[in-house]
Structure 1
């Protein structure tokens, strides 16, 4: 599922070693499976302490990748750079999350609620889960025919049935793949859209979508609010 998240740049961020790190670490996280422990995952949500794992090959590659993608965003760079310093008092928790496209949004609130509870327990047990910021990488898509309409005005259709559109001065219009990604952007310190290094641009008249990435930073003090908002909006109860 990490390959689904990082798409054509999966080799650049060393997703194989990253997956092994996630499985082996003792930090909080949940995977949704239906065929037992050896079955394929349908969704997952976990956190990785970038400072504590700064010298791990996968985290080193991923940190370099994200810093390069955000090199023109001084605000995000200022927050991200200390993640490469294990002695820094400002630790960053990298939230990694993905789910299959046919998995309903209702699976997400319990994942976030469990993650919040598990991190509280981990902090009491002196595990490295006390963060100043959280960073999340998510997928976006861009329809080539929308290049001429980069305003952020409302679209037709009910809000719950259409993707939220965002834009910035460097990029055309983007849409989030998952609804919960929009909550991150609403509450976050800032977001940066980027194209994958090995992206394949679509023709203007193509029916296909160009997939991109987004990095969003969230102050740790707002994480509990984020979980509550996701619960209120998307819970099945």
Structure 2
């Protein structure tokens, strides 16, 4: 698999081919979760996933919980199993772990944030109380420059892992899946400045901006962009979807540094997971694959 590098790393800025992407070969290896080696990296990725609200969500306990089920979920590494993961995907049974401090905190957090949408809040409250419903919390995060084509194999493996676990009578026969993710927001002025920086003199014609993975997207009508491009495919299969403000977000003004970020919450019927894995494989194929 290839990973895009910033061309400035290899050529002078005034080179005639400075806009031509350069590729280097990087081997991404997929491993199961390893409680001996992965804790600190998983904890950091969870902190990144929950942004400025992470401190109140007991991510240390959540990392332990993720690592307590090594047969469900995947990490991506580049330097062997004992190296730190650059990405991970896992799912937790909210009902089974409802006494865990991290799950308690997250359920309260999710319910509070879903109040921004009455229908979403009602559905979420109902399924979390219904003993016939098994709700899985999907956790997926990666380093900012990881290419999105690494994600579909993780979901395909998760589908197989859940199927095997259900056959072994383990508590992974989910009826619903909750996804938590992140977005960032750009004002029209920020979008224009980003376009100008990337294509001087052509911004108004191209009307494009880059997402956090360095990929070029059509501009969003509301200025909201996903950190994870695959979220747009999840949203299409979701029964409910909500962008919510972080509780600990600081007020922003023209002098504020960094991106204006927010959280994203999605609820999807678990039966859609195999279809999601298939769609992601079709949409986010590695470069050069037909």
What is the TM-score of this pair, normalised by structure 2?
0.71
For the Cα contact (< 8 Å) 1:141–1:174, is it kept in 2?
A: yes
Whether contact under 8 Å (1:8, 1:199) holds in the other structure is yes
Aligned to 2:207: 156
Instruction: Determine which structure has more spread, i.e. the larger CA radius of gyration.
Output: 2
SS in 2 for 1:235: coil
| 1:150 corresponding residue in structure 2 | none
1:38 positional shift: 3.9
Q: Given the superposition, is the C-alpha separation of residues 28 and 83 from structure 1 closer, same or farther in structure 2, using an over 3 Å criterion?
A: farther
- Equivalent residue number for residue 109 of structure 1: 152
> Any conservation in 2 of the 1:144–1:209 contact (CA below 8 Å)?
no
For residues 239 and 54 of structure 2, what CA distance do their matches in structure 1 show? Answer: 26
Deviations 1:186-227 (A, max 9, x none): 111111111111112332465732111000111122221111
State the number of aligned residues: 224
Instruction: For CA contacts below 8 A with separation 6 or more, give which structure has more relative contact order.
Output: 1
User: Does 1:23 pair with 2:70?
Assistant: no
SS at match of 1:162: strand
Cα RMSD between the aligned structures? 2.4
2:115 maps to what in 1? 71
Residue matched to 1:96 = 139
Give the whole-Å Cα distance in 2 for the aligned partners of 1:35 and 1:195. 37
Structure 2 residue corresponding to 1:53, chosen from 73, 97, 112: 97
**Superposed displacement of residue 131, structure 1:** 1.2
Relative to 1, partners in 2 of residues 1:164 and 1:220: Cα closer, same or farther, differing over 3 Å? farther
TM-superposed CA distance for 1:165, in Å, is 3.1
* Equivalent position to 1:226, from 276, 279, 282: 276
Q: CA contact under 8 A between 2:209 and 2:219: conserved in structure 1?
A: no
Find out whether 1:203 has 2:253 as its counterpart: yes
- Aligned partners of 2:95 and 2:134 also within 8 Å: yes
| Alpha-carbon distance in structure 1 between the residues aligned to 2:219 and 2:138 | 21
User: Is 1:187 aligned with 2:224?
Assistant: no
Residue 106 of structure 1 and its aligned partner are, at CA, apart by: 1.3
Q: 2:25: which partner in 1?
A: none
The change in CA–CA distance for 1:28 and 1:122 in structure 2 (over 3 A counts) is same
Secondary structure of the structure 2 residue equivalent to 1:63: helix
Normalized against structure 1, the TM-score is what? Answer: 0.86
170, 190, 201: which is aligned to 1:127?
170
What is the distance in 1 between the residues matched to 2:221 and 2:59? 28
For 2:32, the equivalent position in structure 1 comes to none
Tell me how far apart the structure 2 counterparts of residues 64 and 88 of structure 1 sit (CA, whole Å): 18
Structure 1 unaligned regions, length at least 5? 148-154, 168-172
**Alignment gaps of 5+ in structure 2:** 1-44, 191-205
